[in-house]
Amino acid sequence: MTSQSYLAQLFSLDGQVAVVTGGSSGIGRAIAGALARAGASVVLVARRESELAATVDELTADGCRAAWVSADLSTRDGVRAAAEQAAEAFGEPDILVNSAGINLRPPMGELDEDVWDATMAVNLEAPYLLGRRFGPGMAERGFGRIIHITSQQAHRAFVQSGAYGVSKGALESLARSQAEAWSPHGVTCNTLVPGFVMTPLNARLSSDPERVAALAARTMAGRNGVPEDFAGAAVFLAGRASGYVTGQAIFVDGGFSVH
Protein backbone atom coordinates (compact mmCIF):
# COMPACT_ATOMS: atom_id res chain seq x y z
CA MET A 1 0.00 0.00 0.00
CA THR A 2 1.34 3.42 -0.92
CA SER A 3 1.32 6.32 1.49
CA GLN A 4 -1.14 8.09 -0.79
CA SER A 5 -3.65 5.24 -0.70
CA TYR A 6 -3.23 4.85 3.06
CA LEU A 7 -3.91 8.54 3.65
CA ALA A 8 -6.88 8.37 1.28
CA GLN A 9 -8.41 5.56 3.35
CA LEU A 10 -8.14 7.71 6.45
CA PHE A 11 -8.96 11.17 5.19
CA SER A 12 -10.47 11.16 1.70
CA LEU A 13 -14.07 12.35 1.52
CA ASP A 14 -14.63 11.11 -2.03
CA GLY A 15 -18.25 10.13 -2.54
CA GLN A 16 -19.45 11.95 0.58
CA VAL A 17 -22.00 14.77 0.68
CA ALA A 18 -21.60 17.60 3.18
CA VAL A 19 -23.93 20.40 4.26
CA VAL A 20 -22.20 23.37 5.88
CA THR A 21 -24.23 26.17 7.43
CA GLY A 22 -22.51 29.53 7.59
CA GLY A 23 -20.43 28.24 4.70
CA SER A 24 -19.99 31.54 2.89
CA SER A 25 -17.79 33.32 5.43
CA GLY A 26 -15.37 32.86 8.30
CA ILE A 27 -14.78 29.44 9.82
CA GLY A 28 -17.68 27.89 7.91
CA ARG A 29 -16.22 29.01 4.58
CA ALA A 30 -12.81 27.57 5.43
CA ILE A 31 -14.36 24.27 6.49
CA ALA A 32 -16.55 24.07 3.39
CA GLY A 33 -13.48 24.60 1.23
CA ALA A 34 -11.50 21.97 3.10
CA LEU A 35 -14.24 19.34 2.82
CA ALA A 36 -14.74 20.07 -0.88
CA ARG A 37 -11.03 19.87 -1.65
CA ALA A 38 -10.88 16.58 0.30
CA GLY A 39 -13.44 15.17 -2.14
CA ALA A 40 -16.87 15.86 -0.69
CA SER A 41 -19.74 17.39 -2.61
CA VAL A 42 -20.56 20.42 -0.48
CA VAL A 43 -23.75 22.43 -0.07
CA LEU A 44 -23.28 25.84 1.55
CA VAL A 45 -26.21 27.27 3.51
CA ALA A 46 -26.20 30.94 4.53
CA ARG A 47 -28.12 34.17 4.06
CA ARG A 48 -26.25 36.35 1.58
CA GLU A 49 -26.53 35.15 -2.00
CA SER A 50 -23.59 37.14 -3.32
CA GLU A 51 -21.17 35.60 -0.79
CA LEU A 52 -22.58 32.14 -1.37
CA ALA A 53 -22.25 32.42 -5.14
CA ALA A 54 -18.69 33.76 -4.88
CA THR A 55 -17.64 30.89 -2.62
CA VAL A 56 -19.20 28.25 -4.85
CA ASP A 57 -17.60 29.83 -7.93
CA GLU A 58 -14.20 29.62 -6.25
CA LEU A 59 -14.70 25.97 -5.34
CA THR A 60 -15.97 24.90 -8.75
CA ALA A 61 -13.02 26.72 -10.36
CA ASP A 62 -10.80 24.43 -8.27
CA GLY A 63 -12.61 21.38 -9.63
CA CYS A 64 -14.85 20.82 -6.60
CA ARG A 65 -18.54 19.96 -6.55
CA ALA A 66 -20.42 22.68 -4.68
CA ALA A 67 -23.85 24.25 -4.51
CA TRP A 68 -25.53 26.85 -2.34
CA VAL A 69 -28.82 27.51 -0.60
CA SER A 70 -29.83 30.94 0.64
CA ALA A 71 -31.81 30.50 3.83
CA ASP A 72 -33.08 32.14 6.99
CA LEU A 73 -32.03 29.88 9.85
CA SER A 74 -33.74 32.04 12.46
CA THR A 75 -37.13 30.37 11.95
CA ARG A 76 -38.18 26.75 12.05
CA ASP A 77 -39.80 26.98 8.65
CA GLY A 78 -36.64 28.53 7.24
CA VAL A 79 -34.48 25.73 8.63
CA ARG A 80 -36.80 23.04 7.30
CA ALA A 81 -36.89 24.62 3.85
CA ALA A 82 -33.11 24.94 3.83
CA ALA A 83 -32.68 21.27 4.75
CA GLU A 84 -34.88 20.09 1.91
CA GLN A 85 -33.21 22.34 -0.64
CA ALA A 86 -29.77 21.24 0.53
CA ALA A 87 -30.68 17.57 0.14
CA GLU A 88 -31.86 18.20 -3.40
CA ALA A 89 -28.43 19.33 -4.58
CA PHE A 90 -26.40 16.11 -4.22
CA GLY A 91 -28.62 13.82 -2.12
CA GLU A 92 -28.88 13.17 1.58
CA PRO A 93 -25.76 14.36 3.42
CA ASP A 94 -23.21 12.17 5.15
CA ILE A 95 -21.65 15.18 6.90
CA LEU A 96 -23.39 18.08 8.64
CA VAL A 97 -21.40 21.09 9.86
CA ASN A 98 -23.25 23.70 11.91
CA SER A 99 -21.16 26.86 11.72
CA ALA A 100 -23.84 29.52 11.23
CA GLY A 101 -24.30 31.73 14.25
CA ILE A 102 -25.12 35.18 15.55
CA ASN A 103 -23.11 37.00 18.19
CA LEU A 104 -25.37 39.43 20.03
CA ARG A 105 -23.89 40.17 23.44
CA PRO A 106 -25.40 43.13 25.27
CA PRO A 107 -24.67 43.40 29.00
CA MET A 108 -26.66 40.85 30.96
CA GLY A 109 -28.83 43.52 32.51
CA GLU A 110 -29.82 44.70 29.03
CA LEU A 111 -30.31 41.24 27.52
CA ASP A 112 -33.95 41.19 26.49
CA GLU A 113 -36.18 38.38 25.28
CA ASP A 114 -35.76 39.29 21.62
CA VAL A 115 -31.97 38.90 21.76
CA TRP A 116 -32.32 35.69 23.76
CA ASP A 117 -34.82 34.19 21.31
CA ALA A 118 -32.84 35.21 18.21
CA THR A 119 -29.62 33.78 19.64
CA MET A 120 -31.15 30.46 20.62
CA ALA A 121 -32.97 30.13 17.29
CA VAL A 122 -29.85 30.39 15.13
CA ASN A 123 -27.14 29.05 17.43
CA LEU A 124 -29.00 26.16 19.03
CA GLU A 125 -32.39 25.37 17.52
CA ALA A 126 -31.22 25.37 13.89
CA PRO A 127 -28.49 22.77 14.64
CA TYR A 128 -31.03 20.71 16.57
CA LEU A 129 -33.54 20.78 13.71
CA LEU A 130 -30.92 19.98 11.08
CA GLY A 131 -29.64 17.11 13.20
CA ARG A 132 -33.18 15.84 13.64
CA ARG A 133 -33.66 15.99 9.86
CA PHE A 134 -30.39 14.35 8.81
CA GLY A 135 -29.14 12.34 11.80
CA PRO A 136 -31.61 9.43 11.62
CA GLY A 137 -30.85 8.94 7.92
CA MET A 138 -27.13 8.84 8.63
CA ALA A 139 -27.74 6.26 11.35
CA GLU A 140 -29.89 4.15 9.02
CA ARG A 141 -27.13 4.18 6.40
CA GLY A 142 -24.50 3.32 9.02
CA PHE A 143 -22.27 6.36 8.58
CA GLY A 144 -22.45 10.03 9.46
CA ARG A 145 -20.52 12.95 10.84
CA ILE A 146 -22.02 15.91 12.70
CA ILE A 147 -19.71 18.78 13.61
CA HIS A 148 -20.78 21.85 15.56
CA ILE A 149 -18.73 25.03 15.90
CA THR A 150 -18.98 26.31 19.45
CA SER A 151 -16.93 28.83 21.45
CA GLN A 152 -14.71 29.42 24.46
CA GLN A 153 -17.86 30.92 25.98
CA ALA A 154 -19.24 27.39 26.26
CA HIS A 155 -16.61 26.81 28.97
CA ARG A 156 -15.84 30.17 30.53
CA ALA A 157 -17.52 33.55 30.80
CA PHE A 158 -15.66 36.60 29.50
CA VAL A 159 -16.26 39.63 27.27
CA GLN A 160 -19.98 39.52 28.11
CA SER A 161 -20.84 35.93 27.22
CA GLY A 162 -24.55 36.55 27.74
CA ALA A 163 -26.98 34.49 25.69
CA TYR A 164 -24.23 33.64 23.20
CA GLY A 165 -22.29 31.65 25.78
CA VAL A 166 -25.43 29.89 26.93
CA SER A 167 -26.28 28.87 23.37
CA LYS A 168 -22.80 27.50 22.73
CA GLY A 169 -22.73 25.57 26.01
CA ALA A 170 -26.06 24.03 25.12
CA LEU A 171 -24.78 23.20 21.64
CA GLU A 172 -21.97 21.13 23.17
CA SER A 173 -24.57 19.31 25.27
CA LEU A 174 -26.59 18.72 22.12
CA ALA A 175 -23.53 17.11 20.49
CA ARG A 176 -23.19 14.71 23.43
CA SER A 177 -26.87 13.80 23.28
CA GLN A 178 -26.65 13.22 19.53
CA ALA A 179 -23.54 11.12 20.05
CA GLU A 180 -25.31 9.00 22.64
CA ALA A 181 -28.23 8.42 20.29
CA TRP A 182 -26.47 7.80 17.00
CA SER A 183 -22.86 6.74 17.58
CA PRO A 184 -23.85 3.06 17.98
CA HIS A 185 -25.01 3.35 14.35
CA GLY A 186 -21.82 4.85 12.95
CA VAL A 187 -22.62 8.54 13.39
CA THR A 188 -20.09 10.62 15.31
CA CYS A 189 -21.05 13.99 16.80
CA ASN A 190 -18.38 16.42 17.97
CA THR A 191 -17.67 20.11 18.42
CA LEU A 192 -14.77 22.29 17.37
CA VAL A 193 -14.05 25.03 19.90
CA PRO A 194 -12.34 28.14 18.51
CA GLY A 195 -10.33 30.66 20.42
CA PHE A 196 -10.53 34.22 19.17
CA VAL A 197 -10.68 34.08 15.38
CA MET A 198 -10.56 37.10 13.09
CA THR A 199 -13.91 36.70 11.31
CA PRO A 200 -16.90 38.94 10.54
CA LEU A 201 -18.69 37.35 13.51
CA ASN A 202 -16.08 38.93 15.79
CA ALA A 203 -16.04 42.32 14.10
CA ARG A 204 -16.75 44.14 17.36
CA LEU A 205 -13.58 42.86 19.02
CA SER A 206 -11.51 42.78 15.83
CA SER A 207 -11.83 46.56 15.56
CA ASP A 208 -10.03 47.06 18.90
CA PRO A 209 -6.26 46.59 18.34
CA GLU A 210 -5.46 46.53 22.06
CA ARG A 211 -8.04 43.84 22.77
CA VAL A 212 -6.88 41.81 19.76
CA ALA A 213 -3.30 41.94 21.03
CA ALA A 214 -4.35 41.00 24.55
CA LEU A 215 -6.27 37.98 23.28
CA ALA A 216 -3.28 36.86 21.19
CA ALA A 217 -1.09 37.10 24.29
CA ARG A 218 -3.41 34.67 26.09
CA THR A 219 -2.60 31.92 23.59
CA MET A 220 0.44 29.65 23.64
CA ALA A 221 0.92 30.09 19.90
CA GLY A 222 1.30 33.85 20.25
CA ARG A 223 -1.37 34.74 17.72
CA ASN A 224 -5.10 34.75 17.24
CA GLY A 225 -6.78 32.21 15.01
CA VAL A 226 -7.65 32.42 11.34
CA PRO A 227 -10.41 30.41 9.62
CA GLU A 228 -7.91 28.19 7.80
CA ASP A 229 -6.76 26.80 11.16
CA PHE A 230 -9.90 24.66 11.18
CA ALA A 231 -9.40 22.90 7.85
CA GLY A 232 -7.41 19.91 9.08
CA ALA A 233 -9.51 19.31 12.18
CA ALA A 234 -12.71 19.44 10.14
CA VAL A 235 -11.43 16.98 7.52
CA PHE A 236 -10.34 14.64 10.32
CA LEU A 237 -13.72 14.76 12.08
CA ALA A 238 -15.58 14.39 8.77
CA GLY A 239 -13.75 11.27 7.63
CA ARG A 240 -13.24 7.66 8.60
CA ALA A 241 -10.11 8.35 10.65
CA SER A 242 -12.28 9.80 13.44
CA GLY A 243 -14.69 6.87 13.71
CA TYR A 244 -13.90 6.34 17.41
CA VAL A 245 -14.01 10.04 18.34
CA THR A 246 -17.47 11.13 19.41
CA GLY A 247 -19.14 13.37 21.96
CA GLN A 248 -15.96 15.43 22.23
CA ALA A 249 -15.17 19.14 22.33
CA ILE A 250 -11.92 19.60 20.41
CA PHE A 251 -10.19 22.92 21.04
CA VAL A 252 -8.60 24.64 18.05
CA ASP A 253 -7.37 27.69 19.91
CA GLY A 254 -3.58 27.90 19.96
CA GLY A 255 -3.61 26.91 23.62
CA PHE A 256 -5.92 29.78 24.64
CA SER A 257 -8.02 27.51 26.86
CA VAL A 258 -5.09 26.14 28.86
CA HIS A 259 -2.86 29.20 29.20
Residues that are catalytic: 164
Query: 195: number of CA atoms within 13 Å, CB side?
Result: 23
3-class SS of residue 173: helix
The span from the CA of 178 to the CA of 92, in Å, is 18
Backbone torsions φ then ψ of 204, nearest 5 degrees: -60, -45
The span from the CA of 10 to the CA of 239, in Å, is 7
CB within 8 A of 210, min separation 6: which ones? none
The span from the CA of 207 to the CA of 212, in Å, is 8
